[in-house]
Copies of this chain bind each other. A is one copy, B any other.
Amino acid sequence: MSASPSAPQHPLVTPAVADSPAPDDQVMPGKRVRLAVDRPMRLDSGVEIGGFQIAYQTYGTLNADKSNAIFICHALTGDHFVVEKHPVTGKPGWWEMLVGPGKPVDTDRYFVICSNVLGGCLGSTGPKDIDPATGQPYGLSFPVVTIGDMVRAQKLLVEHLGIEKLFCVIGGSMGGMQVLQWAVAYPDSVFSAVPIATAARHSAQNIAFHEVGRQAIMADPNWRGGNYLLEGTKPEAGLAVARMAAHITYLSEAALHRKFGRNLQDRKAVTYGFDADFQVESYLRYQGAAFVERFDANSYLYITRAMDYFDLAADAGGSLANAFRPGGGTTPVRFCLASFSSDWLFPTSESRAIVHALNAVAANVSFVEIETDKGHDAFLLDEPEFHQVIHGFLEGCAEHRGLSARRRAR
């Protein structure tokens, strides 16, 4: 094992439980696998972990030559329940607008995979899980993971599934960061990549918003230095505030104005008090309260940190273009980028910077900015033009990849 000076010094190799179900295996639907059992995976921090669990789902059927696999990367608080009822909230899958039979990511045609990220809390190993070395939840002794580490684990999963080359990797927001990381780290294992509403590095403003969320969590006395599971408390208030702050950044000012404006909540006049007078206040409180039901506070710390650390150019010696020059050549990956005009969290300028870098290496890239007032969340919503772009791009890639058309495939 090797570790950076400040990284945890104990190896997180857990081969003893490789075949044992995790505590939540009985209640949480979906597939799961223990990876890096025989050979630990080295994290960017230098810590090595082995035998960690990755929870995932698949939709559709892998074709004979295993050339029709699409890997979906989820966003910060997403999970692998892409097109099915969420096991905790009971709500529809988070990307049913885009993925499913006959949808742009057509599960009648493609084999779709999505896994809960390493460090997550919906089945993949993360800070809420039991550290076999101590028999107690990891808490902050879980190693800090990066976008690179998440994708490393995804690559192991894809190999476990016997797939050498993904037809496409697609995702929005933090999912888009993973898509970029896939293309940069494993250019020969990705035929096409669709990074949506994302950036090649987390901006100062976005780090700042994440830091506010983390401080809100860590300021909650129930957080207990990260040991809340051990101590039987739950930093719900802090996590809810973190979610509320983040949620504002997912919407545009126009969308908030359209949805709520200054409308009052169940009353005809203000109350001259601190109840939720305005609908937007009530909405935010609801978002905060609902979130704590489905998400682990420490996972929120770890995953926001992974996003903050993401900086593709820095990893490539300061030049983003260099990130797309594997072995000095041009990336073979076909790219399609999409941004949303009212997204101020990952504005179009961030996508444009990636496009410029791809152009600089003469990569195959298309890019579209979708006009919408829905803000960052637009990638999760009903945006016909966006869906048409994804459909068209995948059609073109399928043709180049030699995948048979949908009707013949069925």
Q: By the criterion CB–CB under 8 Å, are A284 and B203 in contact?
A: no
Judged by a CB distance under 8 angstroms, whether A69 is at the interface is no
Residues of B contacting A214 with CB < 8 Å? Answer: 274
Residue in contact with A208 in the complex, picked from B144, B221, B256, B271, CB distance below 8 Å: B256
- CB closest chain-B residue, reference A204: B256
Q: List B contacts of A305 (CB < 8 A).
A: 274
* Interfacial chain B residues near A259, Cβ < 8 Å: 204
Quick check: is A368 within 8 A (CB to CB) of the other chain?
Answer: no
Selected contact of A211 from candidates B209, B261, B280, B344, CB within 8 Å: B280
**A143-B272, A203-B253 known; A241 vs B262 contact (CB < 8 Å):** no
- Bound complex: CA of A359 vs CA of B311, how far in Å? 49
- Across-interface contacts of A248 in B (CB, < 8 A): 205, 208-209, 212
| B residues less than 8 Å from A256 (CB atoms) | 203-205, 208
| A204 with B260: CB separation less than 8 A | yes
> Which residue from chain B places its CB closest to the CB of A209 in the assembled complex?
B248
Contact A204 B257, beta carbon cutoff 8 Å:
yes
A62 at the B interface (CB under 8 A): no
Give the one of A140, A202, A244 with max B CB within 10 A: A244
- Residues 195-234 of A, flagged 1 when their CB comes within 8 A of B and 0 if not, give 0000001111101110110111011110000000000000
B6 touching A273, Cβ below 8 Å: yes
Say yes or no: A270 contacts B208, CB within 8 Å.
Answer: no
Which residues of B are found within 8 Å of A284, using beta-carbon distances?
208, 211-212, 215
Identify A207's interface contact among B212, B215, B278, CB under 8 A.
B278
Q: Which single member of B4, B140, B215, B285 contacts A240 (CB below 8 Å)?
A: B215
Smallest CB gap from A219: residue in B: B237
Alpha-carbon distance A209/B246, docked complex (angstroms): 10
- Check A208 against B280 for contact (C-beta < 8 Å): yes
A366 within 8 A of B: no
| CA A205 to CA B208, docked complex, whole Å | 18
B203 near A244: Cβ-Cβ < 8 Å: no
Interface membership of chain A positions 244-281, coded 1 if the CB is closer than 8 angstroms to chain B and 0 otherwise: 11001001010011011110000001111110111011
CB pair A212 B344 closer than 8 Å: no
Inter-subunit contact A241/B253 (CB<8 Å): no
Given known contacts A212-B248, A214-B274, A274-B305, what 12 new A-B pairs fall within 8 Å (CB)?
A: A140-B274, A203-B253, A204-B253, A204-B257, A204-B259, A205-B256, A207-B262, A211-B244, A215-B284, A262-B314, A270-B309, A278-B308
A-B contact pairs, 9 of them (CB 8 A): A6-B272, A202-B262, A211-B276, A212-B244, A215-B288, A219-B220, A245-B245, A274-B301, A278-B308
Closest 8 CB pairs of A and B: A219-B237, A45-B272, A144-B272, A204-B256, A211-B281, A205-B253, A6-B271, A204-B280
